[in-house]
A and B are shown apart, each in its own frame.
Chain A
Amino acid sequence: MTVLAFICGILALVPLLAVLYYVIIRGFSSLNLNVFTELPPTPFAKNGGFGNAVLGTLLMVSIGAIISIPFGVLAAIYLTEFSSQKVARWIRFATNVLSGVPSIIAGVFAYGIVVLSLVKLNLGSYSALGGGFALAILMLPIIVRTTDEALQLVPQDLRQASVGLGATNFQTVTQVVLPAALPAIVTGSTLAIARAAGETAPLIFTALFSSFWPDSILKPTASLAVLVYNFATSPYQSWQSLAWAASLILLLMVLTTSIIARWVTRKKI
């Protein structure tokens, strides 16, 4: 029995190790510094890079973070500090449902809300704004939940101490509770960012793709994930090797943010 469980445990590790191994071997050989500074080449040209996709991913994740972090943190503060138990239970439930929504649905929603509105307003169509909005929807429940948990972990004693000194609820939250929970909130936000950076489905039909440097958040924008999707399935050798390099970069970005995020909380406990 123990042996069987051990074997299953090892088997569970195999996919992670295999993916890491494959991506590192294939990606590393196509990697050089030019990939960060150059644009994607035409199919038969040599060299080239995906600097625009790195920038595009950073841009859209930033847009997502700017939308979702303030909303998510404020929502969590409302849940733990101000709402009644009944209301909080329903909002928590709704947040959990939202975190279970498939990312493609978030993409469709962003397409309907942002992309089609931009078309109607004659401002553009597929855009970094749409992509960022879709990512924000995916980040929001993660941020609400981690912040909610972080705030609940702040001892009740501290709130009472603050209120007992004549602090208002607002002063207690901003000056005592939030600073105490800040490291965990930062970690949660970082994890949400790491998750959003790797999303492909919602970006395909909100941000689309572009072979040029991003110069406006209202124009189609490249991202690493979509670049991998486009180039890996192309028949051209140079594009395929770029896709491997992009996979490696994306993987490293996601892994390092996750590891940093977990390491920061670990140190706190």
Chain B
Amino acid sequence: MVTQISTMNGTKSVLSTENLNIYYGNFLAVQNVWLDIPKNQVTAFIGPSGCGKSTLLRCYNRLNDLIESFRAEGKVYFYDQNLYAPNIDPVEVRRRIGMVFQRPNPFPKSIYENIAFGARINGYRGDMNELVERSLRQAALWDEVKDKLRQSGLSLSGGQQQRLCIARAIAVQPEVILMDEPCSALDPISTARVEELIHELKEQYTIVIVTHNMQQAARVSDQTAFFNVKTSEKGGRTGYLVEYEATELIFNHPQQEDTKAYISGRFG
């Protein structure tokens, strides 16, 4: 098994993995990933269910630490810091690498408090009203909620809730935003708004997005990584990176047979 190693020339990589293996207990979930994620671009992870793309995404902010049996081998670099080095505080990592989840999950607090929460726990000293407004504006939500900041975040529609979650992530002023299928629970119109937003956000942030929707990957991303899954003799399913290239190349001239088959909709 030869894994495609891609080096994007000319752009600085923010996150990179070196020979990363992810285990749950003794079960190898993701195998041997080498991947560089360039700054201020959108990188999409695509692949069939169970290929470990979400698992890999959660390694970048050490959210997998919440799972008891989780174990990572290999290295995950944030600039030149190994995130899994013993002296790294996972809390600090998550402050610099934000996350947006599959299902919108605003806190059962007011819209204002949803944004202010992250800033407050991070010891933000500036003008909170201004930060809330700026974050909501960046998430293209301000005009819809400016008159009801005291209402519960749960009173918003699904699409608005997801943009609130994006605003919440932005408010902490991270360098990277990880998005785990951010549109899978949204209707097409809300999806389009979030995709538009992703385009605007990449000016300031590095974005990694996991998606099941290939059109979405084609629309929003600059690079695309295709993952696949193989079943071992014992029945364990292990994900691996098949191909990582500029999105245009992946969709128009895939190098690997598996990629070609997946893109043309023959499996997955």
Residues on A close to B: CB < 8 A?
84-85, 155, 157-168, 171, 175-176, 179-180
Cross-chain contact of B68 among A84, A159, A168, A176 (Cβ < 8 A) = A84
Given contacts A157-B105, A167-B121, 12 further A-B contacts (CB under 8 A): A155-B105, A157-B101, A160-B101, A164-B99, A165-B98, A165-B122, A166-B96, A166-B118, A167-B91, A167-B117, A167-B118, A168-B121
10 nearest A-B residue pairs (beta carbon): A166-B95, A165-B118, A157-B105, A164-B99, A166-B94, A161-B105, A167-B121, A171-B121, A180-B108, A168-B91
Q: Which residues of B contact A157 (CB under 8 A)?
A: 101, 103, 105
CB contacts (< 8 Å) of A159 on chain B: these are 66
Taking a contact as CB atoms under 8 Å apart, the answer to whether A166 and B122 are in contact is yes
**B107 contact from A84, A166, A176, Cβ within 8 A:** A176
Q: Which residues of A contact B61 (CB under 8 A)?
A: 164
In the complex, are the beta carbons of B63 and A163 less than 8 A apart?
yes
Q: Is B187 an interface residue (CB 8 A)?
A: no
- Taking a contact as CB atoms under 8 Å apart, the answer to whether B63 and A160 are in contact is yes
Taking the nearest CB of chain A, how far is it from the CB of B153, in angstroms? Answer: 11
* Known A-B contacts A165-B121, A175-B121; A158 and B99 likewise in contact (beta carbons under 8 Å): no
Question: How many residues belonging to B are interface residues under a CB distance threshold of 8 Å?
Answer: 26
Residues 98-112 of B at the A interface (beta carbon under 8 Å) = 98-99, 101, 103, 105-109
Q: Which residues of B does A touch, CB under 8 Å?
A: 61, 63, 66, 68, 91-92, 94-96, 98-99, 101, 103, 105-109, 117-118, 121-122, 165, 168-169, 172
Contact A160:B66 (CB < 8 A) given known A165-B117, A165-B168, A167-B121? yes
- In the complex, how many angstroms separate the beta carbon of B9 from the nearest chain A beta carbon? 32
On chain B, the residues within 8 Å of A164 by CB distance are 61, 63, 94, 98-99, 101, 169
Residue in A closest to B108 when the chains form the complex, CB atoms: A180
- A to B CB contacts below 8 Å, 25 in the list: A155-B105, A157-B105, A158-B107, A158-B108, A159-B66, A160-B63, A160-B66, A161-B107, A164-B61, A164-B99, A164-B101, A164-B169, A165-B98, A165-B168, A165-B169, A166-B91, A166-B96, A166-B172, A167-B91, A167-B117, A167-B118, A175-B121, A176-B107, A179-B109, A180-B107
Question: What are the residues of chain A within 8 A of B66 when measuring CB–CB?
Answer: 159-160, 163
Which chain B residues lie closer than 8 Å to A166 at the CB level? 91-92, 94-96, 118, 121-122, 172
Which A residues touch B121, using CB under 8 A? Answer: 165-168, 171, 175
Contact pick for A179, options B68, B92, B94, B108, CB 8 Å: B108
Cβ-defined contact, B172 with A165, below 8 A: yes
Most chain B Cβ neighbours within 10 Å, of A158, A166, A168: A166
Give the contacting residue for B117; candidates A84, A160, A168, A175; CB below 8 A: A175
Contact A163:B105 (CB < 8 A) given known A85-B68, A175-B121: no
For residue A168, give the distance in angstroms from its CB to the closest CB of chain B. 5
A88 smallest CB distance to B (angstroms): 11
- Interfacial chain B residues near A176, Cβ < 8 Å: 107, 117
* Chain A nearest CB, measured from B76 CB (Å): 16
Please indicate the chain A residues that have their CB under 8 angstroms from the CB of B168 in the complex. 161, 165
Residues from chain A with a CB closer than 8 A to the CB of B172 are 165-166
**Which B residues are in CB contact (< 8 Å) with A158?**
105, 107-108
Smallest distance from the beta carbon of B126 to chain A beta carbons, Å? 17
- Cα separation A158 to B91 with both chains bound (whole Å): 16
- Chain B residues lying within 8 Å of A180, measured Cβ to Cβ, are 107-108
Which single residue of chain A is at the shortest CB-CB distance from B169?
A165
- Decide: B94 and A165 in contact? CB cutoff 8 A: yes
Q: Smallest distance from the beta carbon of A175 to chain B beta carbons, Å?
A: 7
**Is B94's CB under 8 angstroms from A161's CB?**
no
Query: In the complex, what distance in Å separates the CA atom of A168 from the CA atom of B93?
Result: 12
Minimum C-beta distance from A149 to chain B (A): 18
- Chain B residues with CB below 8 A from A171, complex form: 121
State the CA gap A208–B91 with chains docked (Å): 54
Q: How far is the CB of A93 from chain B (nearest CB, A)?
A: 19
How distant is the Cα of A168 from the Cα of B122 in the complex, in angstroms? 10
* A166, B68: Cα distance in complex, Å: 19
Chain A residues contacting B108 (CB-CB under 8 Å) are: 158, 179-180
**Closest Cβ–Cβ distance, residue A265 to chain B (whole Å):** 15
A163 touches B107 (CB 8 A): no
